[in-house]
Amino acid sequence: MNVDKFMNDLEKKHQGEIEYLQAVREVLESIEKVYNENPQFESAGIIERLVEPDRVITFKVPWANDEGNVNVNLGYRVQFNNAIGPYKGGLRFHPSVTLSILKFLGFEQIFKNSLTTLPMGGAKGGSDFDPKGKSRSEIMRFCQAFMLELWKIIGPNTDVPAGDIGVGGQEIGYLYGMYKKLARENTGVLTGKGLNWGGSLIRPEATGFGVVYFAKEMLGTIGETFLGKTVALSGFGNVAWGVAQKATELGAKVVTLSGPDGFVYDPAGISVEKIEYMLELRATNEDIVRPYSYEFENVEFHQDKRPWEIKVDIALPCATQNELDIEDAQKLIDNGCLCICEGANMPCTPEAIETIQKHKILYGPGKAANAGGVGTSGLEMAQNAMKLCWPAKEVDARLHQIMTNIHETCLQYGKQPDGYVDYVKGANIAGFLKVANAMLDLGLV
């Protein structure tokens, strides 16, 4: 395989799908050598088969708002690859959702799920519906209308969706309620469920906790810890609050959080009480970043800016794709940042990653660092299948173990001769090998 030639052909086939093409190129560049050293992959057409989803399902989602006006959104499910287990990946509700974004997320999900060591394939789905500013009943009606189509193609052993941007516990509840009514069964068909109806303890905070467990391992390779460090965080959603909580617990001071309109800088640190306040605000479905700056003293709001200009030891982007570019990376490096670890999927641009790695700063890619979310979803599926509910301590211990194992795997495939760890390479090669070998075992299907 020649990556440039391969990407040329793929770009012609999928013109304009920028995020998807970006994600594919990143993986191919990491695995090119391993792929070419194993001619069995080439002769089985593994790459050609891996980069195309098994199928893409699109549907319309008609729903009525509180005034009775009819709205129509687009719904999608991208079932990418199920070589190692049922399709698995979140649902994103956000106006920026396009097929390209869902294909990039579904493609990444294949390798992330493979890294968890649990039997889960890769998928992603969602809609261009914007939950922001919508009433609870509007969100419920939308979720029900969405599930009216989605339920036909999902199942506990077929395809198991979860949350993502704009889809938290409440939305999963409305989606699952409708699924149960249609399918007439209680099964682990969605993860991120509420505790009273099949959910797992620790799942809400799992992605964020996992990011911090992973970053802790990374810091350990240079003899550092979270204790006494300052942390810049972006977003304040499903992922970011768990990150803030665990980093604070480990003795770090989280000094920023952000939204699409800017970031807040709180030099005193976002304490546990402040996190509680933010969680209450989040439940209102309104903007939350600016109100934070009004509520607490000595907090600065930086309109239309990103948190990466603040001098910190650790940066944890947890909002969205391509939110940390080369200039941001350079600022962090100039300010002495030790570690950049991704809570979000693909938040750093390719140029930013290149700069970070060139300066030998610790860099943890999302597909490894945020895999604790889907890892704990896998644990939720296991508990559902056994009709059991493990205690929080047990789930947290398993999550911790999953993150430590992923870190070990990254070291195994990513350690360079000079000792620097290329976590991108480590994660991509390890994730790829398991799926590719499974595809070989399963034959041409």
Query: Does the protein bind ligand NDP through residue 106 (CB under 6 A)?
Result: no
Q: Which two tokens stand for residue 427?
A: 């994660």
Q: Does the annotation count 124 as an active-site position?
A: yes
Q: Taking the complex as a whole, how short is the minimal distance between the CB of residue 6 and ligand NDP, in angstroms?
A: 26
Among 75, 85, 364, 373, binds ligand NDP (CB under 6 A): 373
**Residue span binding ligand NDP (CB under 6 A) among the ranges 2-10, 136-144, 218-226, 252-260:** 252-260
Query: Does the protein bind ligand NDP through residue 343 (CB under 6 A)?
Result: yes
Q: Taking the complex as a whole, how short is the minimal distance between the CB of residue 145 and ligand NDP, in angstroms?
A: 20
CB-nearer residue toward ligand NDP: 27 or 165: 165
Query: Does the protein bind ligand NDP through residue 126 (CB under 6 A)?
Result: no
**Residue span binding ligand NDP (CB under 6 A) among the ranges 234-242, 266-274, 308-316, 435-443:** 234-242
CA 414, CA 333: separation in Å to the nearest integer? 22
Among 344, 368, 403, 410, binds ligand NDP (CB under 6 A): 344
CB-nearer residue toward ligand NDP: 63 or 241: 241
Classify strands 300-303 and 262-265 as parallel, antiparallel or unpaired. Answer: antiparallel
Chain residues 275-334 in contact with ligand NDP, contact rule CB under 6 A: 287, 318-320, 323
Q: Taking the complex as a whole, how short is the minimal distance between the CB of residue 307 and ligand NDP, in angstroms?
A: 9
Q: Which two tokens stand for residue 411?
A: 């070291």
CB-nearer residue toward ligand NDP: 35 or 245: 245
Q: Taking the complex as a whole, how short is the minimal distance between the CB of residue 372 and ligand NDP, in angstroms?
A: 8
CB count within 10 Å of CB 137 equals 11
Cα angle 221, 224, 227 (rounded to 5 degrees) comes to: 145
Judged by DSSP in three states, 305 sits in coil
- Which of 124, 229, 253, 367 does the annotation list as catalytic? 124
Query: Does the protein bind ligand NDP through residue 345 (CB under 6 A)?
Result: yes
Cα angle 41, 45, 50 (rounded to 5 degrees) comes to: 95
Nearest to 263 by CA among 297, 284, 239, 236: 236
Q: Taking the complex as a whole, how short is the minimal distance between the CB of residue 295 and ligand NDP, in angstroms?
A: 16
CA 288, CA 35: separation in Å to the nearest integer? 46
CA 174, CA 143: separation in Å to the nearest integer? 6
Query: Does the protein bind ligand NDP through residue 95 (CB under 6 A)?
Result: no
Query: Does the protein bind ligand NDP through residue 239 (CB under 6 A)?
Result: yes
Q: Is 270 left (phi over 0), alpha (psi -120 to 50) or beta?
A: beta
Q: Which residues, at least 6 apart from 234, have a Cβ–Cβ distance to it below 8 Å?
A: 240, 256, 257, 258, 263, 306, 307, 316, 317, 318, 319, 323, 324, 344, 347
CB-nearer residue toward ligand NDP: 17 or 323: 323
Q: Which residues, at least 6 apart from 273, have a Cβ–Cβ distance to it below 8 Å?
A: none
**Residue span binding ligand NDP (CB under 6 A) among the ranges 31-39, 54-62, 165-173, 295-303:** 165-173
**Residue span binding ligand NDP (CB under 6 A) among the ranges 9-17, 148-156, 163-171, 326-334:** 163-171
DSSP 317: -
CB-nearer residue toward ligand NDP: 46 or 173: 173
Burial of 404 (C-beta count, 10 Å sphere; 0-12/13-18/19+): middle
CB-nearer residue toward ligand NDP: 47 or 255: 255
Q: Which two tokens stand for residue 59?
A: 């549907």
Helices (H), 116-168: 136-150
CB-nearer residue toward ligand NDP: 46 or 231: 231
Among 122, 166, 198, 426, binds ligand NDP (CB under 6 A): 166
Residues that bind ligand NDP (CB under 6 A): 163-166, 168, 207, 234-240, 258-260, 287, 318-320, 323, 343-345, 370, 373
Residue numbers annotated as active site = 124
